[in-house]
Amino acid sequence: EAAVTQSPRSKVAVTGGKVTLSCHQTNNHDYMYWYRQDTGHGLRLIHYSYVADSTEKGDIPDGYKASRPSQENFSLILELASLSQTAVYFCASSDGTGGAGDQDTQYFGPGTRLLVL
């Protein structure tokens, strides 16, 4: 069974503070993703990575940095947290991006609820 874990599960941060969200996968997957979920917007891609030590910008990267120090770990960093970054953040992993097998399936973590005050 594929497994993606996230920490913390919830966090309250102050405006202007630094926040780090962590993600760990035991799937041996190459691809990892960070999404944010806001009511009425579904999931929006912030950053992704397809190999360790490399990250790519998604659709809404402003205000976020990402770090992939190993295949298993992928972090999302908010250097200066803002009120608008209050959301639920999901990490996901996948084996690849193509093919008719399981490569395309994204496995999601349980999410981190971030409240910025």
Choose between 33 and 78: whose C-beta lies nearer to other proteins: 33
Q: Does 16 bind other proteins (CB under 8 A)?
A: no
Residues 112/88, Cβ–Cβ less than 8 Å:
yes
CB of 17 to other proteins, least distance (A): 25
Closest CA to 74 of 41, 36, 47: 47
The pair of three-digit structure tokens given for residue 32, joined into one six-digit string: 């990892």
> According to CB under 8 A, which residues from 40 to 59 bind other proteins?
40-45, 48, 50, 58-59
Residues 6 or more apart whose Cβ sits within 8 Å of residue 67: 55, 74, 75, 77
First to last CA, the chain: 37
Q: Estimate to the nearest angstrom the gap between the alpha carbon of 2 and the chain centroid.
A: 16
Q: What is the C-alpha to C-alpha distance for residues 82 and 96, in angstroms, rounded to an integer?
A: 33
Q: Does 4 bind other proteins (CB under 8 A)?
A: yes
Q: Does 111 bind other proteins (CB under 8 A)?
A: yes
The residue within the footprint of other proteins, chosen from 47, 78, 85, 109 (CB under 8 A), is 109
Site string for other proteins, 55-84 (x = CB under 8 A): ---xx-------------------------
By CB under 8 A, name the binding residues for other proteins: 4, 31, 35, 40-45, 48, 50, 58-59, 90, 92, 97, 100, 104-106, 108-111
